[in-house]
């Protein structure tokens, strides 16, 4: 018997039996319309419908993320389809090994997906914990935990997660999945691949490898002479071939390596390769006690910079280094905090754990500033976030270290959110750009400031530069182009940019709706707002007031008037200040 691992999606039209009894012909048309819409979403996300059962549709996907995106898109599209609504369907998703019978799939995994759907509320998407664990690092949405459920015909309880609204900030969200662009080779250019941990890697080695990779990229990106492709580029490219990486990213060198934790010692194996012929330039193996590994990284950065640029003044390399923690425990705690913070928007539990690790890093080394900034990032996801306390914490961090670009960027956002001080915010954003001129993330996030400060053309310039460094920018950075184009009044171009995103966010739909109203198409604008409300039923104009920080009152008032006309409701009460949502690298 042939078997395979597959993501199973089961969608069901709610209340069809009663509807059939009341008006069979109308109900049949209603069911057919809903299933046709879902089937189209399945096709768009590379899935396959393998069975239908009356008012239900069963589909398979090779990718759990694609299955999840298909269900989310279908729910939103139901809101704008004539005669349909999000609550007309419910969905269940599960990842399992299933049996193949011709084109049909059967087995316990299919049954669990069906039970998840049957127990979901109308309009909801419930997934198994198994599927959640596969998508949580790259999902476009948040989740809430429903706990263990005992399903009929399933002997063991299944832990269930419910899909929430799309996230505005998630470091792992990728831009449109496109073939890697062929780029001309740039001088003094390098890509850093994520460090490997080997087939026997455990959680401790994985977080250390990713953290060390990011630190090397960050420090190299602060050297003005270098062109450094960002971290998300290397994650997006599946190839290990230096020649293919060079052709895709336009870099002359590729740095790769591995990390092994051996008791109290860490072994780093690092190699630098040419991309013209794939030849090895140099390789090195360093084995140090855990608390000396940062010194080894400094040596690696200096050697890479000297090789790639030919000759770089040692003072520039020294100036590029952010202040190091005084002990390795603080750095280890910081890296563990980052690991949880990257999933902070997926579940509040991750943000809470991230804060705890960042606080431990501060306790271990009170002079280490970065964990303070990152704690504020993690805290901003939680409902008890206090922006006044955040400003005090950032002031203390700035007294400890003025050389951290991310710290300046975060402080710049808080200056707007807390004090409406665009001049102070500008100073911090410009300092972030000076400190890290080759960091695609910093460039993309600083672009948002220039849009809000009335310089959207400057924002587009920064985003072009960021895109050159990283053609796989996260969706929530790419969509800064949407805001900038809206501010410039280039509505048709803005709509095309928004539609090109790998998935639609609340923010992209809001701007598309506003652009449609500006062009006189209120009907289509209303459909877009209904789709946004299907994704987040709690969405109101307060979201815009909290997140779209335009300094010009006329711009924000126009945006609000346009989306109100499209059907976005006002809140029942005046909203409290919203989360900073500054996010991490």
Signed CA dihedral, 95, 97, 102, 106: sign only: negative
Q: How far apart are the first and last CA of the chain?
A: 46
Q: Kindly tell me the burial class for residue 583, based on how many C-beta atoms sit within 10 Å of its own C-beta (0-12, 13-18, 19 or more).
A: buried
283-297, 507-521, 543-557: least confident range: 283-297
* pLDDT tens, position by position, 389-432: 999 999 999 999 998 888 999 999 999 999 999 999 999 999 99
Backbone angles phi, psi at 198, to 5 degrees: 85, 170
**16-25, 157-166, 305-314, 339-348: which range is least confident on average?**
305-314
Residue 323: C-alpha distances to residues 259, 286, 318, 399, 402 (Å): 23, 22, 10, 12, 9
pLDDT band, very low/low/confident/very high, at 583 (cuts 50, 70, 90):
very low
Structure tokens at 220: 């190299």
Residue 320: partners with Cβ closer than 8 Å, 6 or more residues away:
219, 220, 222, 223, 301
Cβ neighbours of residue 210 closer than 8 Å, sequence gap 6 or more: 194, 195, 335, 339
Q: Which pLDDT tens digit goes with each residue over 42-59?
A: 999 999 999 988 789 999
- Supply the DSSP symbol for 382: S
pLDDT confidence tier of residue 237, bands split at 50, 70 and 90:
low
Beta-bridged to residue 127, according to DSSP, are: 93, 161
pTM of this structure: 0.75
Instruction: Give every CB contact of residue 467 below 8 A, 6+ residues apart in sequence.
Output: 440, 473
Which has more confidence, 388 or 335? 388
Residues ≥6 apart with Cβ < 8 Å to 68: 93, 125, 127, 131, 135, 139, 140, 141, 163
Chain centroid, CA 17 distance in Å? 40
Question: 552 Cβ partners below 8 Å, 6+ apart?
Answer: 454
Report CA Rg, the chain.
25
- Which has more pLDDT, 362 or 580? 362
Q: H-helix or E-strand containing 139? A: none
DSSP lists the bridge partners of residue 289 as 265
Whole-angstrom Cα distance, residue 536 to residue 534? 5
Which residues face 125 on adjacent strands? 91
Answer for the pair 373, 584: CB distance below 8 angstroms, yes or no: no
Most confident residue range from 230-239, 292-301, 379-388: 379-388
Pairing of strands 104-106, 48-53: unpaired
Tokens of residue 513, six digits: 């709706």
143 — phi, psi (to 5°)?
A: -135, 155
Contact between 126 and 163 under an 8 Å Cβ cutoff? The reply is yes
Give the pLDDT band (50/70/90) at residue 238. low
Contact between residue 255 and residue 272 where contact means Cβ atoms under 8 Å apart: yes
- Please tell me the predicted confidence (pLDDT) of residue 234: 55
Q: Are 431 and 449 in contact (CB under 8 A)?
A: no
List Cβ neighbours of 255 (8 Å cut-off, separation of 6 or more): 190, 191, 192, 193, 216, 270, 271, 272, 304
> What phi and psi values does residue 278 have, to the nearest 5 degrees?
80, 5
Q: What is the pLDDT of residues 281-328, one digit of tens each?
A: 888 888 888 777 777 777 777 777 666 765 445 455 555 556 667 777
Lowest mean pLDDT among 196-210, 272-286, 541-555: 196-210
| Cα distance between residue 74 and residue 53, in whole Å | 18
Query: CB within 8 A of 507, min separation 6: which ones?
Result: 168, 476, 479, 482, 483, 547
For 59, list phi and psi in degrees, rounded to 5. -135, 155
Q: What is the DSSP letter of 97?
A: E
Q: What's the pLDDT score for residue 476?
A: 79
Structural domains of the chain ordered from first start: 3-166 (3.30.70.1230), 189-322 (3.40.50.10070), 327-437 (1.25.40.10), 472-578 (1.25.40)
Rounded Cα gap, residues 261 and 499, in angstroms: 45
Which is more confident, 303 or 329?
329
- 455-477 pLDDT, tens digit per residue, is 999 999 999 988 877 766 778 78
């Amino acid at each position: 018997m042939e078997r395979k691992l597959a993501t199973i999606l089961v969608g069901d039209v709610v209340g069809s039996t009663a509807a059939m009894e009341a008006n069979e012909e109308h109900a049949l048309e209603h069911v057919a319309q809903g299933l046709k819409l879902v089937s189209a979403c399945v096709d768009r996300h590379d899935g396959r419908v393998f069975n239908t059962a009356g008012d239900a549709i069963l589909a398979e996907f090779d990718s759990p993320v694609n299955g999840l995106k298909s269900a989310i898109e279908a729910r939103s599209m139901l809101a704008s389809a004539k005669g349909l609504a999000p609550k007309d369907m419910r969905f269940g998703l599960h990842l399992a090994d299933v049996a193949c019978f011709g084109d049909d799939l059967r087995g316990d995994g299919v049954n669990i997906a069906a039970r998840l759907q049957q127990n979901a509320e109308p309009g909801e998407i419930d997934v198994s914990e198994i599927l959640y664990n596969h998508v949580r690092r790259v999902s476009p949405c948040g989740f809430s935990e429903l706990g263990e459920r005992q399903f009929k015909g399933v002997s063991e309880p299944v832990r269930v997660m419910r899909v929430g609204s799309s996230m505005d900030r998630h470091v792992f969200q990728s831009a449109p999945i496109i073939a890697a662009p062929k780029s001309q080779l740039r001088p003094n250019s390098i890509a850093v691949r994520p460090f490997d941990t080997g087939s026997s890697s455990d959680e401790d080695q994985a977080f250390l490898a990713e953290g060390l990779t990011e630190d090397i990229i960050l420090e190299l990106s602060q050297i003005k002479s270098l062109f450094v492709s960002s971290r998300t580029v290397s994650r997006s490219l599946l190839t290990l071939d230096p020649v293919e990486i060079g052709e895709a990213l336009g870099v002359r060198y590729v740095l790769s390596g591995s990390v092994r934790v051996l008791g109290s010692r860490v072994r780093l194996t690092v190699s630098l390769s040419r991309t013209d012929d794939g030849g090895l330039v140099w390789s090195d193996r360093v084995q140090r006690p855990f608390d000396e590994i940062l010194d080894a990284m400094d040596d690696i950065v200096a050697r890479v910079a000297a090789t790639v640029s030919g000759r770089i003044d040692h003072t520039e390399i020294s100036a590029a280094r952010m202040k190091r923690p005084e002990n390795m425990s603080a750095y280890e705690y910081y890296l563990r905090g980052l690991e949880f913070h990257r999933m902070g928007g997926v579940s509040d539990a991750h943000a809470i754990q991230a804060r705890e690790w960042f606080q431990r890093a501060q306790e271990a080394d009170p002079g280490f500033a970065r964990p303070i900034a990152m704690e504020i990032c993690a805290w901003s996801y939680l409902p008890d976030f206090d922006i006044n306390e955040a400003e005090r914490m950032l002031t203390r961090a700035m007294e400890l270290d003025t050389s951290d670009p991310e710290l300046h960027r975060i402080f710049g956002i808080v200056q707007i959110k807390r004090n409406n001080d665009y001049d102070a915010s500008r100073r911090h954003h410009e300092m972030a750009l000076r400190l890290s001129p080759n960091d695609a993330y910093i460039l993309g996030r600083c672009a948002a400031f220039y849009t809000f400060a009335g310089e959207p053309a400057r924002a587009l310039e920064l985003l072009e530069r960021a895109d050159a460094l990283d053609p796989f920018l996260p969706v929530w950075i790419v969509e800064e182009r949407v805001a900038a184009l809206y501010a410039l009044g280039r509505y048709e171009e803005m709509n095309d940019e928004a539609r090109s995103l790998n998935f639609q966010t609340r923010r992209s739909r809001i701007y598309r709706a506003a652009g449609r109203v500006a062009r006189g198409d209120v009907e289509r604008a209303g459909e877009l707002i209904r789709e946004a409300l299907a994704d987040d039923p709690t969405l109101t104009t307060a979201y815009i007031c909290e997140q779209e920080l335009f300094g010009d009152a006329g711009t924000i008032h126009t945006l609000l008037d346009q989306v109100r006309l499209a059907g976005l409701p006002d809140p029942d009460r005046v909203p409290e200040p919203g989360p900073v949502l500054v996010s991490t690298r």
